[in-house]
Amino acid sequence: MNLRSHGMSLYDRDYVRDTQQPQPLPTPKSAVAVLITINVIVFLLDQLAGPTGWLASYLVAFSTTIVQPWDWWRFVTYGFAHAPIGFGHIFGNMIGLFFFGRAIEGVLGPKRFVGFYLTAVVLGGLAFSVRHYLMGPRELPIPMLGASGAIFALVILFALKFPHNKIYLWFTVPVPAWLLASAYLLIELTALNRHDSVAHDVHIAGAIYGFVFFKTGWSFLSLAPSSLLDSFSGKSFSAMTTRRPKVKLYDPEARDSKLDKEADRILDKVHREGADSLTAKERRILEDYSRRMQQKRR
């Protein structure tokens, strides 16, 4: 079976990231851990539960999917299927998701991270299907699978947020994130019209979306009711990652107004029931009120 994969050299190389702050390993509740688990389970089922490639061939999207609304679910599922021959495709993508994803999830939180990731998957699939449907040949649908478009979106977003963090190629060669992302984006642009097995248009679509998200914070979550969104709704990624100190302002006039109301209530009680009816707390409030009134007269 000839499946067009999203694998590219960026994800076939060994690298680690040296961030300014150490990133914790994904916990079982983290979105990165869940996404990696789903991808691995799908891959193992594809290898062990039937003829090799049976599940991937069911989940893939095609160049004709754009004109088949009943198959639009494939624009999500293709991102969880990987080349059934060998481990390089899924291994490279999951390494990228692990290293870049946990840094981005640490900023966005699990919910918005999943929204960003799935939006990148869908937009990459749409870009592939539209381009190849228009270019043809339409009588021979071209299949597409893999998470590389979403991973490329992560790479670009990471490079925009942490441009000077080092990426270690082969665990030895340090390269600034901005330089690595720029180099691979240039490679993808120059390779766009090559007739090979790499979906360069999906990578470019992922890169564009990573930039758009950095500027606007938009994902398909933005289409959901506001009550379902977290406090980051409508903010750009750069705004999300700008921490502001929480400052609690002291408003003496508001405090005095509250004390006046309490004092009036207590004085009404004294008028109705006598001073002996007051609690210890009410007596303290009256004493505070009396001291404040004396200070105002000075």
Q: What is the mean pLDDT of residues 243-267?
A: 63
Provide the mean pLDDT of the chain. Answer: 79
In the chain the domains, ranked by start, together with CATH numbers, are: 4-240 (1.20.1540.10), 252-297 (no CATH)
Is the peptide bond between 137 and the residue preceding it cis, with omega within 30 degrees of 0? yes
pLDDT tens across 226-252, in order?
544 444 444 555 555 555 444 444 445
- The CA distance from 188 to 210, in Å, is 15
**55: pLDDT strictly greater than 60:** yes
Give the per-residue pLDDT at 221: 85
Task: Determine which of 39-53, 138-152, 162-176, 229-243 has the lowest per-residue pLDDT on average.
Answer: 229-243
Beta strands 4-5 and 143-145 are parallel
**179: pLDDT strictly greater than 70:** yes
Q: What is the mean pLDDT of residues 242-265?
A: 60
Give the distance from CA 233 to its chain's centroid. 12
**28: pLDDT strictly greater than 90:** no
Sign of CA dihedral 147, 152, 157, 163: positive
- The CA distance from 4 to 141, in Å, is 11
pLDDT tens across 85-97, in order?
888 899 999 999 9
- Per-residue pLDDT band for 21 (boundaries 50, 70, 90) equals very low
- Among candidates 174, 180, 185, 176, which has minimal Cα distance to 211? 185
